Amino acid sequence: MGAAFGSALIVLAAALLPAGLIGGESVSAQTTIDYDIDGDGLIEITYLEQLDAMRWDPFGVGIADDGHAREVYEAAFPEAANTMGCEGFCLGYELTRNLDFNSDGSYASGVVNKDWTTGAGWMPIYSDRSGFDATFEGNGFTIANLYIKRRGASDTGSTACSDYPS
């Protein structure tokens, strides 16, 4: 009975240890996601919501502008660190797969955003202060079915792009 009681105590003690201790290392509940897995200084874009969020960080450094922009940016990049996992700091963005505005699979939400595929379509990325001033690497992937229908000073009308290489 003594050995069984001792084994039961060891199991009970292990069950009561803090969940953050694993293999002798402390695991933080505030884990940040590495958005630069390949270490090239470019934040990986996997979903269209992330592509859209680039407008809130036109310099590609991994930190959104303040206020509402920060909330939108951080929704697209959950648990983002200040440096988004880039060594040193980030220099821009890169596609990691083909994206299609008409495909549920291209959205983190899993649902096509009808605001981007009808009516005025997707809002081009632009910053009032300086424009988009970051690296954007397509890596041979495509952005398909991008639809923009915006009227501006030049009144250029609609632009519809299908399988537009980045």
Burial pattern 105-143, b for ≥16 Cβ within 10 A else e, equals: ebbeeeebeeebeeeebbeebeeeeeebebebeeeebbb
Instruction: Decide if pLDDT at 30 tops 70.
Output: no
| Spatial separation of the C-alpha atoms in residues 107 and 99, rounded to whole Å | 8
- Could you tell me which residue, 126 or 62, shows the higher pLDDT? 62
Per the prediction, the chain carries an average pLDDT of 73
pLDDT given at position 72 = 84
Work out the average pLDDT over 112-131: 82
64-100 pLDDT per residue, tens: 767 778 888 888 987 666 556 677 778 999 999 999 9
pLDDT given at position 32 = 59
